[in-house]
């Protein structure tokens, strides 16, 4: 199964997200991550859907999405030709003995320490899926208290745009 990123332009009004998510659940397809936000046109939102599947599954999902009246455009993004980012906040146990090692690892991954107290540190890291996963594995020995990941967002490289501008 190959990882796919679908970029979907939809009408920006209530109920659209529910329709799209419902389409996936009714057909038994899993969504790895889903991000949604308003575009440069406030009437349009962009959904970035990360999922795994073969070409047949992606074709079926695309056909079903195209049937939804609120869907404007869909592309299966070529991950080698786009910029992908995810934001992760991670709260890790921190003692006087481990604090400097944690800071060193955060710096190596170009992260930011955004909160600190006597027993823990909260770190922000952005990057692609592999970088985020590697950072999480490096931090596990310190004792991870909480993790939250935004899910992937993506844009094609170069001058082309999904909306045609």
Domain containing 18 — which CATH number?
3.30.70.260
Number of helices (H) and strands (E) in the chain: give both, helices first: 4, 9
11 lies in some domain: yes
**How many domains does the chain divide into?**
2
* Res. 159 pLDDT band, cuts 50 70 90: confident
Q: Specify the pTM.
A: 0.84
159 lies in some domain: no
pLDDT digits (tens, 9 = 90+) for 9-18: 999 999 999 9
pLDDT at 162: 73
What is the chain's mean pLDDT, rounded? 93
Structural contact between residues 163 and 39, judged by C-beta atoms closer than 8 angstroms: yes
165 lies in some domain: no
CB atoms within 10 A of CB 158: 8
Mean pLDDT of 126-135: 94
More reliable by pLDDT, 159 or 3: 3
| Residue 43: domain span | 2-77
Q: Does one domain contain both 61 and 9? A: yes
pLDDT at 76 > cutoff 80? yes
């Amino acid at each position: 199964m190959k990882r796919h990123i679908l970029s979907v332009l939809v009408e920006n009004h209530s109920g659209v997200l529910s329709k799209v998510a419902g389409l996936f659940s009714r057909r038994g397809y899993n969504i790895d991550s889903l991000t949604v936000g308003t575009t440069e046109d406030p009437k349009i939102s962009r959904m970035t859907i990360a999922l795994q599947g073969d070409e047949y599954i992606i074709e079926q999902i695309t056909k079903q999405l195209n049937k939804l009246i609120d869907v404007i455009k869909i592309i299966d993004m070529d991950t080698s030709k786009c910029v992908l980012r995810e934001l992760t906040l991670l709260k890790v146990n921190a003692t006087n003995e481990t604090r400097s090692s944690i800071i060193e690892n955060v710096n190596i991954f170009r992260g930011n320490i955004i909160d600190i107290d006597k027993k823990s540190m909260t770190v922000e890291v952005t990057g692609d899926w592999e970088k985020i996963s590697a950072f999480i594995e490096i931090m596990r020995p310190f004792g991870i208290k909480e993790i939250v990941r935004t899910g992937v967002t993506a844009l094609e490289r170069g001058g082309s745009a999904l909306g045609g501008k």
